Structure 1
């Protein structure tokens, strides 16, 4: 039996939300992190990714599968199920992702400050100049 994914795996203050380096779509890096320690069912992924709608999560999984990063396995039988797991190619992206997350965590305050300054400036000057 696998250990369940924690529901607070990605809190709202997670550095991944500030990371300017993208791995696939908006949610792909979080999906990859959820699959880091082995295969998971869709319902298991929904626990830490509760902010992602089922439709968007499905699209992200399909995109990762298309790129060869995730394998989708269907198990037939009296209680059919589907599991998602990282392929060797998908596992190879874990190290660069860890480096990007460490960078975002190190520069967290600067990233927040820059975004707040930019957003504040945009509200004061609606022309964007």
Structure 2
């Protein structure tokens, strides 16, 4: 949302949604300090629902300039299936396989969930763990 919200200016620990959705005032909890940024730098606000709660995202307009100087060095990289990449000096980096490890974790959590009795609090806990994964 670019409009329809107002940040509490004195403490910056609350946000009020003034649109007709009926959300109202929300208290912001977290360690991230909004006093570092000016209110004019906040361009958009999003409310995001995750498995473990609701989050408020602030999209900022910040000009970042990184000055880099070329090193005039070149290397050769070979990207493959057995190794993530191999450079021209023979250094190999293994494939991290994030997808496979995540699939194994979800598979295990689904098995644990299916063994729980429906309506029990342990099933709710297992369902919450699966949703987070």
TM-score by length of 1: 0.21
**Greater share of strand residues, 1 or 2?**
2
TM-score by length of 2: 0.20
Bigger RCO (CA 8 Å, 6+ sep): 1
